Amino acid sequence: MSLIELKDVGYQVGGTPILQNINLKINAQEWVTLSGPSGGGKSTLVRIIASLLSKTSGTLTFDGQPIEDYDPITYRRRVSYSFQQPTLFGDTVRDNLSFPYQIRQLPFDERRAVSGLEYVGLAASDLDKGVNDLSGGQRQRVALLRNVMIYPEVLILDEVTAGLDAENKAFVWSLVEHFNQDDNLTIIAITHDQAEIDAAKRLITIEDGRIVGGAE
């Protein structure tokens, strides 16, 4: 059984179709890359999968159950979505890394935060660094770390490497590889980057709101 299954999923706004007849099965621990021209509906699709938008037709099941059967909050803790050009919350890196604990009313695991920071190439002392003192690449790493402080099952990445230099891109990508290989996270990543498209394990192309290649 697939972890995520979309059948004839459509989405329209005021009569204008944004997505049509999306049929897609994603297995647990799979790494799926979505590409296609801008405005083709990729972000809309992943936002529907992340339960940030609701489809207007078709069915979407997660772990065999229709998405409507899940409480959206609990579901989003299992299917985590990371934005392009993320906003960092509060004043410091700590405010961001402790957020996933705060919303679950759990004590902040500072040790895990520190080892996470070191793993993404930042220092333990950066925990109390102001978010405005971070570079673009560092912001993206902190945001990504925020998504995985408490592991989700699915990590959705919406062009998270866009706007980063080659070195940062490669680094972020190696992190995602680690999440997928070592921590068994299912990855759904949108990208326009040719190298990432070439390296895709499973590539799905979306154009004009339809899947034009890659779905089975």
CA angle 159, 49, 187 (to 5 degrees): 50
Comparing CA positions, the residue from 212, 209, 74, 88 lying closest to residue 146 is: 88
Contact with other proteins (CB under 8 A) among 33, 140, 147, 168: 147
Q: At residue 181, what is the residue type?
A: Q
Comparing CA positions, the residue from 51, 68, 50, 55 lying closest to residue 10 is: 55
Contact with other proteins (CB under 8 A) among 12, 25, 58, 77: 77
The reply on whether position 76 binds other proteins by CB under 8 A is: yes
- In the numeric block, the tokens 């680094």 are attached to 171
Distance, in Å, from the CA atom of 133 to the CA atom of 139, rounded to the nearest integer, reads: 9
Strand ranges for 14-74 from DSSP E = 16-26, 31-35, 57-62, 65-66
Contact with other proteins (CB under 8 A) among 33, 61, 82, 161: 82
Q: Which stretch binds other proteins (CB under 8 A): 67-75, 123-131, 172-180, 181-189?
A: 67-75
The least distance separating other proteins from the CB of residue 18, rounded to whole angstroms, comes to 15
The least distance separating other proteins from the CB of residue 66, rounded to whole angstroms, comes to 12
The least distance separating other proteins from the CB of residue 194, rounded to whole angstroms, comes to 27
The least distance separating other proteins from the CB of residue 216, rounded to whole angstroms, comes to 28
H-helix or E-strand containing 179? helix 166-181
Q: Which stretch binds other proteins (CB under 8 A): 26-34, 66-74, 124-132, 184-192?
A: 66-74
* Residues in contact with other proteins by the rule CB under 8 A: 50-54, 68, 72-74, 76-77, 80-83, 86-87, 89, 99-100, 102-104, 146-147
